[in-house]
A = this chain, B = another copy of it.
Amino acid sequence: MSLSIFDASIPVFLRGFDNFSAMLAKGEAFAQEKGLDPRTLVEARLAPDMLSLAGQVQRASDTAKFCAARLTATDGPSFDDNEANFAELHARIAKTVTYLKSIDASAFDGSEERRIVLKRRQGEVTLDGRSYLLTFALPNFFFHLTTGYDILRHAGVPVGKSDFLGPL
């Protein structure tokens, strides 16, 4: 037995969103404990031209959603990027998770070889499903999950590696 494309995508994203939700909850509790306006965390970023915490959740959501849709050659739902507080970030994650859970594992059959066309700044890039998952979707997903963690940690929220990895 080896890995399926499904194994290396949907359950990985679901687990990541569970961990992201738990880290956001720690952020919200931290703001409350310190008497901070929670929006200062939701809008926090590591550089002026980087995305905020809200942006990291939105891009993690889109990365997972587009990955599932592209690999199964179906259309995913459309989400507005208008989340402005912790409750809305949790709701964004929840609807992403609902979508991901709605897809049957069998829909990924043959997706290793499916041609995926990405629009990049330098033009269109075509990858097979395997390369798309391993060189684009998974790195991107973990990029946004980690940067969300780094924003919280930089702001003083007591999250640690075990929050990022989740229960093993």
Given A46-B153, A154-B46, CB of A143 within 8 Å of CB of B130: no
Flag whether A73 is at the interface (Cβ < 8 A).
no
Give the docked Cα–Cα distance between A156 and B46 (Å): 10
Segment from A75-83, A95-103, A158-166 that makes contact with B? A158-166
Q: In the complex the two chains form, is B11's CB within 8 Å of A134's CB?
A: yes
Copies of this subunit: 2
Q: In the complex the two chains form, is B46's CB within 8 Å of A46's CB?
A: yes
Q: Decide if the interface of chain A is mainly helix, strand, loop or mixed.
A: helix
A7, A112, A130, A136: residue with the most chain B Cβ atoms closer than 10 Å: A7
Residues of B within 8 A of A7 (CB): 3, 130, 134
Q: In the complex the two chains form, is B12's CB within 8 Å of A134's CB?
A: yes
The residue in chain B whose Cβ has the minimal distance to the Cβ of A108 is B2
Q: In the complex the two chains form, is B134's CB within 8 Å of A8's CB?
A: yes
Given A46-B150, A47-B153, CB of A120 within 8 Å of CB of B168: yes
